[in-house]
Amino acid sequence: MRCFAGFLFLLLCLFSCNSKDDVIVAPERLIDPEQMAEVIVDINLVEAQLTEIQFLQSLVKDSVRSYYSGLFLKHNITQEQLNENLQYYVSRGAIMDSIYDKAINMLSEMEKGLEHVKMPDNDMTHVSREEMEMLLTEPVIYRLCQNEDIVFPIKHDSILRYYKIHSSVLDSMGLTFRRFGVSLNFYAGSQNKMNRFFQSQKKVSL
């Protein structure tokens, strides 16, 4: 939540240079407030992810491009359209406040969901390099997976869609980079989905 508060402050500073007398017309591609809240939630999630990898300077540039490309693709918008809509809504404080409130509520619900997600089988705490190669699609991520198994926790999220084969099971998939290793985060919509995923992995290994 602190990351989100920081993002909102930055957002307000970014567009506060517009004079109050300026009239900002609605963009040609107007994002409705409901979707705008979802976009802001995903921006916060992307920024939180980038904060995790800021010490890996060589990867940040590629990651920013990759994550935001996924965000724009998910919401079917361009960066220019997002900027235009941010300017438009920031100039209309009451509407922007309601968008912020909705985004904060959505993030709070995600945070609560993390409290109830657990690993279904302690024997499945590692994925082999061969299995990882089948799951990953990003070249910069693939290079990190060459030499060792990768431990992964289960989390819940709505962006970072790096899944390929198991798209029918997983809602999304992403990576968290940490100082002592790389952890793969499966972002699943429900515990049942994760259970099915692990059961399928067991059958493959038999």
The per-residue pLDDT of the chain, averaged, comes to 62
Question: Where along the chain do its domains lie?
Answer: 2-114, 122-205
Distance of CA 151 to the CA centre of its chain: 19
Per-residue DSSP letters for the chain? -HHHHHHHHHHHHHHTTS-TT---PPPSSPPPHHHHHHHHHHHHHHHHHHHHTTT-HHHHHHHHHHHHHHHHHHHT--HHHHHHHHHHHHTSHHHHHHHHHHHHHHHHHHHHHHTT---S-GGGSEE-HHHHHHH---HHHHGGGSSS-EE--EE--S--B--STTTTT-SEEEEEEETTEEEEEEE-S-HHHHHHHHHHHHHHH-
Q: Is 0.75 surpassed by the pTM of this model?
A: no
In DSSP terms, 182 is beta-bridged to 177
What share of the chain in percent tops pLDDT 70? 34
| Model confidence pLDDT, tens digit, residues 78-115 | 999 999 999 899 888 899 999 989 998 888 877 665 55
| Model confidence pLDDT, tens digit, residues 125-182 | 445 555 555 555 444 444 444 544 444 444 433 333 333 334 443 334 444 433 333 4
